[in-house]
Amino acid sequence: MAKTLHETPSVTKGRDVTATQTKTPESPKELREMSSGRGAAGDRIFSGAALAAGVLILVALVAVAVFLVVQALPAFVAPQSQIANGQGFWPYIFPLVVGTVIAAAIALLIATPISIGVALFISHYAPRRLAQILGYVIDLLAAIPSVIFGAWGISFLAPALVPGYTWLSNALGWIPIFAGPPSATGKTLLTASIVLAVMVIPIITSVCREIFLQTPKLHEEAALALGATRWEMIRMTVLPFARPGIISAVMLGLGRALGETMAVALVLSSGPLIASLIRSGNQTIAAEIALNFPEASGLSLNTLIAAGLVLFLFTLAVNILARWVISRHKEFSGAN
Amino acid sequence: MSKRIDVKDLNVYYGNFLAVEGVSINIAPRSVTAFIGPSGCGKSTFLRTLNRMHEVIPNARVEGEVLLDGDNLYAPGVDPVAVRSHVGMVFQRPNPFPTMSIRDNVLAGVKLNGGRLSRSEAQEIVESSLLGANLWNEVKDRLDKPGSGLSGGQQQRLCIARAIAVKPDVILMDEPCSALDPISTLAVEDLINELKEQYTVVIVTHNMQQAARVSDKTAFFNIAGTGKPGKLIEYAETATIFNNPKEKATEDYVSGRFG
Amino acid sequence: MTAIATSGRRSALTRNRLPRYAPWASLAVGLIVGAALSTLVGFSLFGWGLFAAIVYTLVYVSWSGAVEGGRKARDKLATSLVIGAFIIVVLPLFSVIWTVLEGGIKGFLTPGFLNTSMNGVSGIQDNMSVNTGGRVLGGIYHAIIGTLLITLWATVISVPIGLLTSIYLVEYGEGRRLARAITLFVDVMTGIPSIVAGLFAAALFATIFGPGTETGFVASIALTVLMIPVVVRSSEEMLRIVPNELREAAYALGVRKWRTILMVVIPTAISGIASGITLAIARVIGETAPILLTAGFATKINFNVFSDWMASLPTYIYFQILNPASPSNPGPSIQRAWGAALVLIIFVMVLNLVARLVARIFAPKTGR
């Protein structure tokens, strides 16, 4: 035994002089090298390939940024009188940004409470069997392509909402966002927002449900043992535990709503920026690009790409904001 | 404050499975009662029926009566939420709410029941509960730090403080020291001895020395085999159980011959 | 003594509770009052349901508040709201599925729908089929081919890159700055709006091959940008849950790292990886916007992703709805759109089910 131990270093040296001479032979790495000398090249190739793939992703993202900037640049440097029928780029993009933000904000305003409610229903209210089925269903719904939501919005939801809009403009028409006359087709920003909400609800719900289910049983039982009702238990343990997760789920939904193209392009009958949500008008960046891209060329193409760049930076900012919010809540997060 | 517990012919079911069968036991106020027995004998299950915590598990139900100073916990019209504010519980692993500070952890139960508290009232409750849990001196300078930053033993005493802050009649403890180191265990055991001056304490433990050290009376639970219900075998003064048990099974268990 | 106590006075533990029939009584009140209120503003089933739900909640919660106190009432309010949220969600989502089924079955069952293209089908044919009541011509064969080819190429490119990247992150990158940078970049990529990915691919190929380069492959590149982060994320997660003991056991047998990864780590995680990849495919197969910007608008069958325009199911749906072949008689176009939507949903559902089955069937065998 002592002899073999003594001999091993020399074997290693003989076979692979350059590698790890100074290390003690007992280290597992060295033993590994000893037992199969061939294959060292395999190790190098494999780790190289893995590294290359990783670097490729960095390159790809940089390429996304570079090509977008390069192709967008003409829209910023060209005489502004040639951009967007003489409007100039910023006056052109501003209403689109506002429309995008309004549509996404309304969608989240609707979707967030409902999603949290549904996630709670699945995780803490529904009987277990039903909850399992519902979990599957929600995941499947999250996978439905957006163009189908858009098609549903234009053919079913928009006409169905017309009476509601008429009523809103009669009853609450003095509020600018409900000012009449309402659209006769229902193809308005509010309809688009509702479609967006329906789209993002499964996404937010599915993330929230998973996090709610991870709440430690110990903490839930502690709350119940103190004499908490189910709702008090949820407020004391589930919601605080899940708060960072809820925020990132909502941000995920926000990213999806901001960048969503098809639902808006199909549902909204676009127009200039107006305050009323129940008249046709307004437009979002993504839908604007989709509708105009097929016919665009030259400078108008550059303008659309510049609009895409703005959208990209916007979603990026949302992402970073979400991270910052989550990192601020670390200390009391229950992760430890 | 302290109340007596009388259990009459209690059966506990999970669905159709009979987990604990025919338990009758009388627990005196201001005493410490220990439940001992091998794993899976139903002692924890039985303990959880004393504040209706077993109902957290779907399909769990009981037959029989649990009387708290003569009031049946299972009488129609009794609200499990109300029961739990009379019968507090401390769990196997310390479980302070991680999102709350030490102060808020102590006040968690009080806030549920009492509604609004003035600042001085709250401070008084926090101080007296933490004093009662022998934790005040260790944490008085960091009441606003998260409870999860404390050591395991301190966390467990924080949970005890949280339980006594609502001024319960009974405190149930489900193997409160099994996740703690020996020194923290000792601190919690000392605390249990002090708690019995004010509360009825029922403790489940795997550690027979611990049962011998802290309890006035001891109940031995056993199970005939897997799939069979757990039963209460013998219930007597702790000294009797450990030195002079009536049942053969108890003697085997306490002398370490099985289990 | 205890017996006398129990019978003689009211238990200290009993608090006032609502009778068992309370929810049903409240519901009945809600339905009746709701019907009355909705008739006042013009009766509709939706309005009835809405008012009934509101009245029910008000009655039930305030009844509980009066009898049982505020805490119980709040608990009941929360329960009502949670269940209400669930009902609110179920309605539109089932409406979506119902609309697709209802609209899609007819188009789907039309002979030739699945195996003909839109080549030569224009407003003339559509007008004729509306006027004569003949069957709707035109199908989605070219779109199915396009969707499958574009998605296939996207998968072929993204899976090796994504998988190798996740291997780098888990097995080699541990704590290195590059690994952290990659993780950050993958996160950023996850947030790229799909239309921006399309713009990128279009800009890339326009810069290299000149403007107007629109082929199936450009669309594949756009989808790759969307697919890689999903593959990396899910594979990384799966590789991380492979226990370290397994790796160490292999090392202790003198197995090299790359062989350990190939022979031990990946086989252990393969079910999760495969199901993650399937879900990633399911996600990009329905993407519309990137394909709209990159693959042009084709009506013909095209098997070559490297030249000429290519159709896909999502863009097919989009164009059929937005630009019907015959603007005066959009019916046939709408019918085709719903038929395509049904096929697309079937694709997505099948992929999702496959992912679940893969995860379950190929999961590492446990002891039994």
Chain C 334-363, CB below 8 Å of chain A: which residues?
334, 337-338, 341, 344-345, 348-349, 351-352, 356
User: Is A213 inside any structural domain?
Assistant: yes
- Mark yes or no for CB contact A241/B99 under 8 Å: yes
Are the CB atoms for B182 and B147 separated by under 8 Å?
Answer: no
Q: From residue A104, how far is each of A108, B129, C35 by CA, in Å?
A: 6, 49, 34
Nearest to B232 by CA among B50, B25, B2, B5: B25
Q: Three-state DSSP class for B166?
A: coil
User: Is B50 inside any structural domain?
Assistant: no
User: Do A222 and A89 have their domain in common?
Assistant: yes
Chain A contact residues (CB < 8 Å to B): 127-128, 216, 218-229, 232, 236-237, 240-241, 243, 331-334, 336
Count of CB contacts below 8 A, A vs B? 81
* Amino acid present at C350: V
The enclosing H or E element of C79 equals helix C70-109
Which pLDDT score is estimated for A107? 94
- Average pLDDT of chain A, as a whole number: 81
The residue with greater pLDDT, A72 or C13, is A72
In the block, residue with structure tokens 């309010």? C77
User: Is B127 inside any structural domain?
Assistant: yes
Could you read off the pLDDT of B213-248 as tens digits, one per residue? 999 999 999 888 777 888 899 999 998 988 888 888
Residues of chain C scoring pLDDT < 70: 1-12, 15, 363-368
Are the CB atoms for B211 and B205 separated by under 8 Å?
Answer: yes
Residues 6+ apart with CB under 8 A from B23: B7, B9, B10, B46, B64, B231, B232
User: Do A152 and A247 have their domain in common?
Assistant: yes
Mean pLDDT of B51-75: 87
Which pLDDT score is estimated for C229? 92
Residue in C5, C14, C15 closest to B70 by CB: C5
Could you read off the pLDDT of B76-118 as tens digits, one per residue? 878 888 888 889 899 888 888 888 889 988 988 888 876 677 8
User: Is A286 inside any structural domain?
Assistant: yes
Pick the residue from chain C with its C-alpha nearest to B87: C13
User: Is B76 inside any structural domain?
Assistant: yes
Chain C contact residues (CB < 8 Å to B): 1-2, 5-6, 11-15, 17, 71-72
pTM over 0.90: no
User: Is A306 inside any structural domain?
Assistant: yes
- A227/chain B closest Cα distance in angstroms: 4
User: Is A64 inside any structural domain?
Assistant: no
User: Do A49 and A168 have their domain in common?
Assistant: no
Judge whether residue B63 has pLDDT over 60.
yes
- What CATH number does the domain containing A222 carry? 1.10.3720.10
User: Do A277 and A315 have their domain in common?
Assistant: yes
User: Do A150 and A204 have their domain in common?
Assistant: yes
Name the pLDDT band for B32 (thresholds 50, 70, 90).
very high
In the block, residue with structure tokens 């003095």? A174
Distance of CA C215 to the CA centre of its chain: 26
- Mark yes or no for CB contact A36/C255 under 8 Å: yes
Distance CA C292, CA C296 (A): 6
Share of chain A above pLDDT 90, in %: 19
Q: From residue B254, how far is each of B203, B212, B247 by CA, in Å?
A: 17, 10, 11
Q: What residues make up the domain containing A21?
A: 2-54
Number of domains in chain A: 2
- What CATH number does the domain containing B15 carry? 3.40.50.300
User: Is A324 inside any structural domain?
Assistant: yes
Are the CB atoms for C89 and C69 separated by under 8 Å?
Answer: no
Are the CB atoms for C171 and A50 separated by under 8 Å?
Answer: yes
- Mark yes or no for CB contact B86/C14 under 8 Å: no
Could you read off the pLDDT of B188-218 as tens digits, one per residue? 898 898 888 889 999 999 888 899 999 999 9
- Mark yes or no for CB contact B82/A227 under 8 Å: yes
User: Do A217 and A324 have their domain in common?
Assistant: yes
User: Is B53 inside any structural domain?
Assistant: no
Name the pLDDT band for A25 (thresholds 50, 70, 90).
very low
Instruction: Tell me the ipTM for this assembly.
Output: 0.85
Peptide bond into A181 cis (omega under 30): yes
User: Do A158 and A265 have their domain in common?
Assistant: yes
Distance CA B26, CA B6 (A): 4
- Mark yes or no for CB contact B109/A216 under 8 Å: no
User: Do A258 and A314 have their domain in common?
Assistant: yes
Which pLDDT score is estimated for C7? 41
Number of domains in chain B: 1
Judge whether residue A28 has pLDDT over 70.
no
Domains and CATH numbers, chain C: 17-109 (no CATH), 141-361 (1.10.3720.10)
Distance CA C366, CA A272 (A): 62
User: Is A333 inside any structural domain?
Assistant: no
Q: What residues make up the domain containing B90?
A: 5-44+59-254
Residues 6+ apart with CB under 8 A from C58: none
Which pLDDT score is estimated for C6? 42
- Mark yes or no for CB contact B88/A232 under 8 Å: no
